Amino acid sequence: MSARENILNAIAMNQPELAELPVIDLASTIHYEDSFIQFKTVLESIGGKVELISHITVLKDKLATDKTTGNFIVNTIEALGDVDKYVALLPVFDLEKVEKAYVKGTLGVAENGAVWIYESQMINRLIPFICQHLILVMEKKNIVSNLHQAYQKIDVEKEGFGAFVAGPSKTADIEQSLVIGAHGARSVVVFVIE
């Protein structure tokens, strides 16, 4: 038996016993009278921005203007026009030039200002994290109070990847100096459709 097999066997024999998941009374979890206001307050307190819009077509002109700047702009939302499907095949070195990305979110969470995005909504799973400026679009009716409610609504097994995104990337690890955009987008704007 090889050293590798010995190690794997030792690990297999020393597994902890499985524990039952706790039963959570969802009626006793946090609830907000106005989930949108709480979502907006939290997201803006962590550096993001939230704008309420009447319809997704309001963003068509914004996207068209962005595309004329000559910057690398990616659209992953069909309702805004042509989807940039080619980004699924681009190498990471080309994706690092993405200035702005428009991505549709599935739902928002009021307690932490997070937006759930499925991999299929990203086209390429790097897009929300490698772009400089992230534009998320979601419907107001899809804002829930807490993560317990969010996990009841999303299907984590639906696709191979998904993520909650909450605000721009930031860290204060180095000399306790806040750096925005260290590990992801420098800005996040969530357009919430009324």
Could you read off the pLDDT of 16-64 as tens digits, one per residue?
888 998 888 988 999 999 999 999 999 999 999 999 999 998 999 999 9
Residue 60, token pair as written in the block: 């068509």
Buried b (16+ CB within 10 A) or exposed e, 116-136: bbbeebbbbbbbbbbbbbbbb
C-alpha to C-alpha distance for 102 and 122, rounded to whole angstroms: 9
pTM score of the predicted model:
0.86
- 3-class SS of residue 136: strand
pLDDT in tens, 103-161: 999 999 999 999 999 999 999 999 999 999 999 999 999 999 999 999 999 998 888 89
**Total residues belonging to the chain:** 194
C-alpha to C-alpha distance for 137 and 104, rounded to whole angstroms: 5
111 within 8 A of 38, measured Cβ to Cβ: yes
114 within 8 A of 165, measured Cβ to Cβ: yes
Domains for the chain: give ranges and CATH numbers. 3-193 (3.40.50.10420)
Query: H or E element: which one contains 98?
Result: strand 98-104
Q: What is the pLDDT of residue 94?
A: 93
